[in-house]
Structure 1
Amino acid sequence: MKNENGSSNILETMPVKALFVKMAVPAVLSQLINILYNLVDKMFIGHMESGGAQALAGLGVTTPVILFLSAFAALVSMGGAPKIAIALGKNERELAERIMGSCMALLLVISALLTAGMLIWGERILLMFGASENMIGYAVDYMRIYCLGTVFIQLSLGLNTFITTQGFTKISMMNVTIGALINVMLDPILIYGCGLGIRGAAIATVIAQAVSCIFIVRFLQSEKSMIKLRILYIRMDWKLLMPCIMLGMSPALMQITENMVAISFNTVLQRYGGDLAVASMSILNSVMQFVMLLLPGLVQGA
């Protein structure tokens, strides 16, 4: 096996401590860059001349929903990545490719179900999660567009982990960076220049995730990847998927329970503090994500 420099696979040859640092640092940076998606949206939306505060509060209400959707990507990726790593350790590349293909098939099915569910019940869910009558229009506008890009988001979050698992941490970080940079460049153009407001922020996010997804899929199909994403294996093999789901259940449930705390904050703050309190909590959540980002990066590196 070869790494990105063409030498022997670093997972086989590098000392554990040095390998941990090499794997963890890009993972931490990827977490930092990932946060920029939502943070940059908040920065530009909050400075809108008309309805900035309500739009920011609406975006804040969508955050738990977005994290809930990403928990399904964690269910697949955080369970599939260890199984692929074990298969690679046994030099069973075909098995690793079949696992990855099955995981992608599951991500596609999950994306379709989540998209349909959010388009049908999205407004009710947002109201239940703390949206008020003043902000619900902004929240719905953002979520309807965001949900149309669910497939790109699920695949980019889910499949990028399989690149990291092979030891290509720099490439996985670059995939995240490309999407974040596109999002930062498109936000002011679509929000202010095109006058699309919060819908422009959602469009920018979907486009950025779509480009990132294309880069990830192309790499996994290239000769540089140790395992190939083959169309033949993109089908759900439950014998391979069930162990992945069992492994991924814990991180997915942890993310979902964290969202329940955020939902509790939003509903209580909306009742006793109104839209301004929800918008303020949205900003604080972004700050707290920066404080906590070190831990998931270290865990992924390990």
Structure 2
Amino acid sequence: MKNKRKRNRDLLTGSVGKHLLRMTLPTIGGMLAFTIFNITDTLFVSKLGTNALAAMGFTFPIVMIVGAFSSGISIGAASVLARAMGKKDHHLMNRIATDGILLSVLSVIFISTIGLLTMDPLFTMLGATQETLPLVKEYMTVWYIGVVAVVMPPVGDSAMRAMGDMIRPFIVMMVCALLNIILDPILIFGLFGFPKMGMAGAALATVISRVAGMITTLSFVHFHYGLIDFKYKDFKELISSWSKILHVGIPSAVVRLFPQLVRTALTKMAATVGGTVAVAAIATGTRVESFATVVSMAIGTALVPIIGQNWGAKKYDRVNETRKIVNKTAVIYGIIIFLIALPLAEPVSKIFTDNPKVLELTKWYLWIVLFASGGLNLYNWTSGELNSVGKPLWVMVINIAGSVVILIPALFIGSKIYGYVGMLVGLGIGQIIIGAVAVKIGKKELKGENEILIEC
């Protein structure tokens, strides 16, 4: 056990800038793999026809809600585990890793049971028709049965990241992505003698690839780090672990739903001011944007264990130094990605559509949204910092205020003033404002006991 402990990444000494770079690079690869994973499913299902693609669309809200729940447990476990590592509390590290995984497994049994029993009324309420509902059920029946493999791996991966290990989570994501890419066409279209399974094949490919990821994750967490330990002093210890995880996890899960609220408002307003072409442009722009934001997502992921470990060790000067670096990086990266988007927005968008009207509106979407991406980075990264030190209520304040008070009204006002482009300008201005507000809150709440001021 002691030898395994030495494998932990100590983020309490050395250059925080170098730590951030070292941890960001493999995370970028993992994020790209995950993005490709999601696009692959949609791409192959689209070959089954419009009804199949629409059915896939109806599954997204449920998949995203379950994903938000999974992320909540992951973020909660990572926050507590990173701070425990900073304090050198190895017993708590064991408890949080083990109990976080156990919590995810028990929770999805409940989710799966409810999901299987409510498919007809739920998806009918979401708008599924007689043509699409059977396809939705075909996909979700398999998905619900295998949902434990969807929810559990992120919890194990977050435990490894909290300890400063970004390589093994990257390996897990690559295993999932590559296996999904291989299995999707085989199971959907019945290649190499396999039966043609259609939508069920798409779901089965996802589940099998996630099971492989789950096995890989558990192997790393148990055999490499020795974190899995089901020996309890008493039942109260388990409840205490779950309480610590959910203290951060529940607010984190809730706030992850608010970006979807903004996205829904954006799509609805786009339909109002620009019709189907505008909605298609938003959808296309979002796909392209998902690649552009991979680096910022990776930095946000790498940031959490650095802040968490140093906060747990009461090294507030290093927390201060890390925040200064990432705040500058947020602005610089936003400028760089905007300059790249100026000449490349249209040619890259052509990968997804050849409609000239859609391309024109997509170009405007990417230019405006990526121009303001620095503000969104500050907003997201500060939320991650606050979660990592166990201050989830401030994350809820930032996200609720950012979505309901700033972004959605900015969208509405912009659309009334200048239609589609005005709506996007409103979104961009809103992102810059919430970034500034988030930094202000982070500066106040992340001083630490020594009251170290953070210069941004």
TM more than 0.5: yes
The change in CA–CA distance for 1:287 and 1:122 in structure 2 (over 3 A counts) is: farther
How far residue 301 of structure 1 moved from its aligned partner, in angstroms, is 0.6
Alignment correspondent of 2:154: 157
Q: Is the 8 A contact 1:61 1:266 kept in 2?
A: no
**CA distance in structure 2 between the aligned counterparts of 1:142 and 1:283, rounded to whole angstroms:** 24
1:194-235 deviation line (CA, Å, top 9, x unaligned): 31111111000000000000000011111x31x521233597
1:148-201 deviation line (CA, Å, top 9, x unaligned): 111111111221111111122111100110011111000111111231111111
What TM-score, normalized by structure 1, do the two folds share?
Answer: 0.85
Alignment correspondent of 2:51: 54
User: What is the count of residue pairs matched by the alignment?
Assistant: 295
How far residue 238 of structure 1 moved from its aligned partner, in angstroms, is 2.3
The change in CA–CA distance for 1:263 and 1:120 in structure 2 (over 3 A counts) is: farther
**CA distance in structure 1 between the aligned counterparts of 2:188 and 2:218, rounded to whole angstroms:** 29
Could you tell me the percent identity over the aligned residues?
Answer: 23
**CA distance in structure 2 between the aligned counterparts of 1:3 and 1:130, rounded to whole angstroms:** 51
Amino acid aligned to 1:209: R
Q: Report whether the alignment pairs 1:180 with 2:160.
A: no
The change in CA–CA distance for 1:215 and 1:7 in structure 2 (over 3 A counts) is: closer
Task: Map 1:125-140 to 2 at 5 A.
Answer: 125-140=122-137
Amino acid aligned to 1:121: T
Q: Is the 8 A contact 2:8 2:164 kept in 1?
A: no
Secondary structure at 1:221's aligned position in 2? helix
Q: Is the 8 A contact 2:81 2:93 kept in 1?
A: yes
Secondary structure at 1:75's aligned position in 2? helix
Secondary structure at 2:129's aligned position in 1? coil
How far residue 267 of structure 1 moved from its aligned partner, in angstroms, is 8.9
**CA distance in structure 2 between the aligned counterparts of 1:17 and 1:195, rounded to whole angstroms:** 50
Task: Map 1:270-285 to 2 at 5 A.
Answer: 285=286
Q: Report whether the alignment pairs 1:231 with 2:266.
A: no
Q: Is the 8 A contact 2:184 2:201 kept in 1?
A: yes
Q: Is the 8 A contact 1:45 1:55 kept in 2?
A: yes
Cα-Cα RMSD = 3.2
Alignment correspondent of 1:44: 44
The change in CA–CA distance for 1:59 and 1:128 in structure 2 (over 3 A counts) is: same
1:222-278 deviation line (CA, Å, top 9, x unaligned): 1x31x52123359772222223212223331222223345567889999xxxx9999
The change in CA–CA distance for 1:153 and 1:278 in structure 2 (over 3 A counts) is: farther
1:85-136 deviation line (CA, Å, top 9, x unaligned): 1111111111110111221121112111110111011232222233233222
**CA distance in structure 2 between the aligned counterparts of 1:10 and 1:192, rounded to whole angstroms:** 48
1:42-95 deviation line (CA, Å, top 9, x unaligned): 1111123xxx11101111121121111011111111011111111111111111
Q: Is the 8 A contact 1:75 1:249 kept in 2?
A: yes
**CA distance in structure 2 between the aligned counterparts of 1:60 and 1:280, rounded to whole angstroms:** 16
Alignment correspondent of 1:9: 9
Q: Is the 8 A contact 1:175 1:212 kept in 2?
A: yes
The change in CA–CA distance for 1:259 and 1:9 in structure 2 (over 3 A counts) is: closer
The change in CA–CA distance for 1:145 and 1:284 in structure 2 (over 3 A counts) is: farther
Secondary structure at 1:232's aligned position in 2? coil
Q: Is the 8 A contact 1:87 1:93 kept in 2?
A: yes
Alignment correspondent of 2:290: 289
Q: Is the 8 A contact 1:138 1:198 kept in 2?
A: yes
Alignment correspondent of 2:102: 105
Q: Is the 8 A contact 1:130 1:266 kept in 2?
A: no
Secondary structure at 1:78's aligned position in 2? helix
Task: Map 1:137-148 to 2 at 5 A.
Answer: 137-148=134-145
In the alignment, structure 2 segments of 5+ residues that lack a partner are 304-456
Q: Is the 8 A contact 1:56 1:279 kept in 2?
A: no
The change in CA–CA distance for 1:280 and 1:208 in structure 2 (over 3 A counts) is: farther
Alignment correspondent of 2:328: none
The change in CA–CA distance for 1:216 and 1:31 in structure 2 (over 3 A counts) is: same
In the alignment, structure 1 segments of 5+ residues that lack a partner are none
**CA distance in structure 1 between the aligned counterparts of 2:129 and 2:210, rounded to whole angstroms:** 29
The change in CA–CA distance for 1:204 and 1:164 in structure 2 (over 3 A counts) is: same
Q: Is the 8 A contact 2:68 2:254 kept in 1?
A: yes
**CA distance in structure 2 between the aligned counterparts of 1:94 and 1:145, rounded to whole angstroms:** 38
How far residue 292 of structure 1 moved from its aligned partner, in angstroms, is 3.8
Q: Is the 8 A contact 1:24 1:298 kept in 2?
A: yes
The change in CA–CA distance for 1:105 and 1:217 in structure 2 (over 3 A counts) is: same
**CA distance in structure 2 between the aligned counterparts of 1:279 and 1:99, rounded to whole angstroms:** 43
Alignment correspondent of 1:76: 73
**CA distance in structure 1 between the aligned counterparts of 2:298 and 2:77, rounded to whole angstroms:** 17
